Amino acid sequence: MRLVVDLNKCQGYAQCAFLAPDVFAMHGEESLLYDPRPDEEQRERVARAVAACPVRAITAGGPGRAGEPRGASDVR
């Protein structure tokens, strides 16, 4: 799975960091850090984080880490 966060849209609500703390983290009050290629085990948490973003700044889908099937389904 691949993640992209539009950091221009992100308002720092941190819902993603709360729902998937192994993938997203706040650095200070406004800066978001994230793993753009989280492990497959994080798929469900990432899907919840994507859905919870109030400004829809996160998109996820496609192949990510080595070994992940090509054409993996989108979790949006």
pTM: 0.78
* String of DSSP letters for 54-75: TT--EEEES--STTSPTTPPP-
Inside any domain, residue 34: yes
Inside any domain, residue 73: no
Residue 33 DSSP code:
E
Each residue's pLDDT, cut to its tens digit, for the chain (76 residues) gives: 999 999 999 999 999 999 999 999 999 887 999 999 999 999 999 999 999 999 999 999 876 555 444 444 444 4
Inside any domain, residue 55: yes
Inside any domain, residue 32: yes
In the chain, the number of structural domains is 1
Inside any domain, residue 51: yes
Domain with 20 in it: what CATH number? 3.30.70.20
Half-sphere exposure of residue 21, counting CA atoms within 13 Å on the CB side? 1
Instruction: Provide CB contacts within 8 A for 76, sequence distance 6+.
Output: 50, 59, 60, 61
Inside any domain, residue 41: yes
In angstroms, how far is the first alpha carbon of the chain from the final one? 11
Inside any domain, residue 67: no
Instruction: Give the structural domain span for 46.
Output: 2-61
